[in-house]
Amino acid sequence: MNKNIRNTSAFTLIELLMVIAIIGILAGILIPTVGAVRKQANIAASKSQLSNYVTAIQLFKGEYSYYPFVTGGNDTTVDLSSQSTLFIETLSGRGASDGKPKVEGGNRRRIGFHSFSESEFLLNDDDTVDATQLADRFSNTAIKVRIDGDGDGQVDPDVSGPEPTSPSNPIRTAITAWVEGSEDSPGYALWD
């Protein structure tokens, strides 16, 4: 008696291809979602960084009874792409490049209103940190801070880039901040 009994269970080629196709579809859905979540997390961390700058400027005013960087009693925009060193030295009470105590921007007592962390500085192409240039989590240096210099309790941000959009009315706050978007990085603001 010659019996050919095949009693083995196995997956067919079609079943395996279906499983691979389903995994591919799920990966195609998941990967862009993870990228979007990562981008939103970086925006949230960068907004927190901007809020810390606003708080440091308010602490400066509480100590010295005037806002730093304001001249002539007008609302002032501090452009951190060109004024990072002064901003760092004024709010930290230390030199941006050497970390030694320094009187700058009216901080005559060299009080540290903000302690700048490595993640707040620009990361160069060779993976070195530029301790004199502030940047957000996207390495964007177009950070702006608007200060109410005339004391009317509101600021009118003068956004020059496409992102974020300028508010239609002045904002009822003494200080606000935003980052202007570019091709490589998003724009966002504290008033969003």
pLDDT at 108: 94
Q: H helices within the chain, ranges in order?
A: 13-64, 80-92
pLDDT at 72: 82
Burial of 110 (0-12, 13-18, 19+ CB in 10 A): middle
Sequence-ordered list of residues with C-beta below 8 angstroms from that of 132, at least 6 positions apart, any chain: 84, 85, 88, 96, 97
Sequence-ordered list of residues with C-beta below 8 angstroms from that of 172, at least 6 positions apart, any chain: 153, 154
pLDDT in tens, the chain (192 residues): 556 666 667 778 998 999 999 999 999 988 888 888 999 999 999 999 999 999 999 999 999 999 999 988 889 999 999 999 999 999 999 999 898 998 888 899 999 999 999 999 999 999 999 999 999 999 999 999 999 999 999 998 877 766 787 788 899 999 999 999 988 899 999 998
The count of residues in the chain is 192
Distance CA 59, CA 30 (A): 43
- pTM of the full predicted structure? 0.83
For residue 188, list its beta bridge partners.
179
pLDDT at 97: 87
Distance CA 170, CA 20 (A): 55
Neighbours of 90 (CB within 10 A): 24
Q: Are 122 and 139 in contact (CB under 8 A)?
A: yes
